[in-house]
């Protein structure tokens, strides 16, 4: 079952796609989009989390510029637009938006009070930044491009964080991967996993770089991590 949730901020209101599980109360997982908006792929991920017993919330990151953006990696004009939206995106405002979602999620009808955040690509970066700037209970970042440019935020991370990186990522090179691993190595309740031979967006089912085996392994690690940290 899906619904819309409106989040209020000082800059205005924005919408989130919400998928609910069969049984409640349940923990909440906030799913942060790629650069393509809350498209069919992100909605499918949210539905998958709902099937696993979570209230899944997928917020519209680009609402300030163009609410309701729904793009495809298979349409060249969509890709061009997605990268333009990414280039103009205000990450600091984005962290504020995620903080507002986390606050709303804790008291959402049917919610247990526990909230996790996960995200992919741009959403992976925003998940990492949210780990440093919000009070959610656990965070899972998939191939967050630009994480290595924000390693000064590591000291602010006090909650559990799991990071998945593609070993052959065209956007996150081996030096960046090593820097991320090194910066997070001594953080408690934090792990970085690298998937050799995989390219960026390896967990996007149906995507050009999808790797089924790596996706299965990464998602199994994510499921165990979230179950451990979001249990009531």
d(CA 40, CA 45): 9
Q: Which residues of 193-210 are buried (b: 16+ CB within 10 A; e: fewer)?
A: ebbeebbbbbbbeebebe
Query: Annotated active-site positions, please?
Result: 169, 200
d(CA 226, CA 29): 9
Q: What are phi and psi of 116, to 5 degrees?
A: -115, 160
């Amino acid at each position: 079952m899906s619904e819309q949730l409106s989040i209020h901020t000082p800059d205005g209101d924005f919408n989130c796609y919400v998928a609910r599980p069969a049984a409640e109360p349940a923990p909440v997982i906030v799913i942060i989009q790629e650069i393509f908006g809350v498209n069919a792929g992100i909605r499918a991920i949210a539905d998958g989390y709902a099937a696993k017993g979570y209230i899944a919330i997928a917020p519209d990151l680009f609402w300030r510029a163009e609410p309701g953006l729904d793009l495809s990696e298979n349409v060249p004009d969509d890709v061009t637009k997605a990268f333009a939206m990414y280039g103009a995106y205000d990450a600091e405002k984005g962290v504020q938006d995620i903080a507002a979602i986390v606050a709303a999620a804790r008291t959402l009808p049917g919610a247990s009070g526990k909230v996790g955040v996960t995200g992919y690509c741009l959403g992976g970066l925003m998940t990492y930044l949210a780990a440093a700037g919000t009070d959610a209970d656990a965070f899972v970042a998939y191939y967050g491009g630009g994480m290595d440019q924000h390693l000064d935020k590591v000291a602010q991370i006090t909650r559990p964080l799991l990071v998945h990186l593609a070993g052959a990522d065209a956007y996150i090179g081996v030096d960046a991967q090593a820097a991320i691993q090194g910066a997070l190595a001594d953080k408690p309740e934090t792990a970085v996993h690298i998937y050799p031979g995989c390219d960026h967006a390896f967990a996007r089912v149906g995507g050009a770089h999808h790797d089924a085996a790596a996706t299965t392994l990464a998602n199994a690690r994510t499921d165990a991590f979230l179950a451990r940290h979001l249990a009531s």
